Amino acid sequence: MPHAPIYVVDGARTPFLKARNAPGPFSAADLAVQAGRELLLRQPFAPADLDEVIVGCAAPSADEVNIGRVIALRLGCGHRVPGWTVMRNCASGMQALDSAIANIHTGRSSLVLAGGVDALSRAPLLVSDEMTRWLASWAAARGAGDRFTALRRFPWRSIAPVIGLVKGLTDPVVGLSMGQTAENLATRFGISRQAMDEYAARSHARALAAREAAAREIAPLIDARGTLYPTDDGVRDDSTVERLGKLRPVFDKPWGNITAGNSSQVTDGAALLLLASEDAVKRWNLQPLGRIVDSQWAGLDPAQMGLGPVHATTSILQRHHLGLNDLDLWEINEAFAAQVLACLAAWNDTVYCREELGTEPWGVLDQARLNVEGGAIALGHPVGASGARIVLHLLQLLRERGLQRGMAAICIGGGQGGAMLLETETAQ
């Protein structure tokens, strides 16, 4: 059933800041508020004119659990504008957009601030169950004798913290980390270490070449000490194939091929977009970047989760009678080089397409159309924000290059994929 168009009016994101084994300078809400403030200051309406605020976040802190509401209030939307939070792992930001689309289509909303954020450097350190039980016994101790007995039973072997981020990036159903699922794909499609490192080096090179242009969508950050963070800080000019080839495997030691260099970076960042109905566009005389034409979610084996973009985008392509290269540009989030390369291989694999998609092979996607200004390997992957970032970035690229149509797609931990078909205003 066709729906009225959903317009992307404008968007902004923060610089993506690489986590460096310590809490970063900004909480997740800090990141989103700074991006949202600059975005809203450009608009002809007030924050209180929004119908709702929807934010995707995979790892909100304990004091920002419903971070969507926190952000809405801090942005000055007032008490009457509802704010809420969604979570679909790596696609949380894209899910926020899709939730906004659904509410606009039903008439509940006409003007929505939506997107995603994560401050992964602030993912919590946890204690083990054994340590938790000891703490409970300590709290229940009465008098010096009980406390002395509890101290004698202190569980020294369990004193090491449980790293929340590692647990969050491990699938509890199949027991594999996201990196191990990428190793699965590399094996399945015969993707070499050389091919992964070449792809990773290209991501950095493309991001470096586009650094000045990337400022179009970045709202610089300023911390409490007045330090300015103007741009993404994970992009490297020394990420050559030769240097990347010296890195050791991380997830499947010692024989694996997935390294820190050909994987996305652990990062803090936010990306927010303004979505509007046709009536809201007319009411406020807005000049949209483009439209979200269609969206799709798909599920697959969690052990093969990186192929989610193939499943989600194929349904959209079928609905709109499009081939891979009928689209002007593609953004596939770079969780791992092996994962993106596996998607390209799957579309061109007869057995995979027939058995998993129920179609004939789709052919070879022209990589000159794919992630043309680099991706998460170079920029970073703040889990909640990435799905929103690729939508904003793709619309900016299409508009600047005078192109019409593109696809943004993302793999999702747990064995899912998400995709959105986008058009600029020239594609009527």
Confidence of residue 327 (pLDDT cuts 50, 70, 90): very high
Please give the positions annotated as active site. 90, 381, 411
Percent with pLDDT over 70 in the chain: 99
Mean pLDDT of 312-334: 98
Mean pLDDT of 225-247: 94
Find out whether 171 and 305 touch, Cβ atoms under 8 Å. Answer: yes
Mean pLDDT of 278-300: 97
User: If we measure between CA atoms, which residue out of 293, 367, 300, 294 comes closest to residue 329?
Assistant: 367
DSSP conformation letters of 306-363 = GGHHHHHHHHHHHHTT--GGGSSEEEE--SBHHHHHHHHHHHT-HHHIIIIISS----
User: If we measure between CA atoms, which residue out of 283, 327, 258, 253 comes closest to residue 111?
Assistant: 283
Position 2 pLDDT exceeds 70: no
Q: Give the Cα-Cα-Cα angle 8, 14, 20 (nearest 5 degrees).
A: 145
| Predicted pLDDT at 74 | 98
Mean pLDDT of 255-280: 96
Sign for the pseudo-dihedral over CA of 245, 249, 255, 258: negative
Determine which of 163-177, 184-198, 373-387 has the lowest per-residue pLDDT on average.
Answer: 163-177
Mean pLDDT of 9-25: 94
Position 185 pLDDT exceeds 80: yes
Two tokens, residue 62: 């304990």
pLDDT digits (tens, 9 = 90+) for 417-427: 999 999 997 65
Residue 302: CB atoms within 10 A of its CB come to 20
Task: Please give the distance of CA 228 from its chain centroid, rounded to a whole number.
Answer: 24
Contacts 24+ apart (CB under 8 A), 150-157: 155/128, 155/130, 155/131, 157/130
Mean pLDDT of 273-288: 97
Position 279 pLDDT exceeds 90: yes
pLDDT digits (tens, 9 = 90+) for 409-419: 999 999 999 99
| Predicted pLDDT at 266 | 93
pLDDT digits (tens, 9 = 90+) for 104-121: 999 999 999 999 999 999
**CA atoms of 134 and 154, how far apart (whole Å):** 7
User: Considering all CA atoms of the chain, what is the largest pairwise distance in Å, rounded to the nearest integer?
Assistant: 79
| Predicted pLDDT at 426 | 63
**CA atoms of 378 and 334, how far apart (whole Å):** 9
Two tokens, residue 134: 């000891």
Burial of 142 from C-beta contacts in 10 A (0-12 / 13-18 / 19+): exposed
Position 285 pLDDT exceeds 70: yes
| Predicted pLDDT at 124 | 85
| Predicted pLDDT at 158 | 86
DSSP 177: B
Position 126 pLDDT exceeds 90: no
Find out whether 415 and 352 touch, Cβ atoms under 8 Å. Answer: no
User: Any residues with CB less than 8 A from the CB of 333 and at least 6 apart, and which?
Assistant: 90, 264, 309, 375, 376, 381, 386, 387, 390, 409, 410, 411
| Predicted pLDDT at 163 | 82
Confidence of residue 212 (pLDDT cuts 50, 70, 90): confident
Determine which of 12-26, 39-53, 136-150, 309-323 has the lowest per-residue pLDDT on average.
Answer: 136-150
pLDDT digits (tens, 9 = 90+) for 337-388: 999 999 999 999 999 999 999 999 999 999 999 999 999 999 999 999 999 9
Residue 163: CB atoms within 10 A of its CB come to 13
**Rg of the chain on CA atoms, in Å:** 22
Which residues share a beta bridge with 88?
Answer: 90
Position 428 pLDDT exceeds 60: no
The average confidence (pLDDT) of the chain is 95
Position 122 pLDDT exceeds 50: yes
**CA atoms of 338 and 410, how far apart (whole Å):** 14
Residue 41: CB atoms within 10 A of its CB come to 10
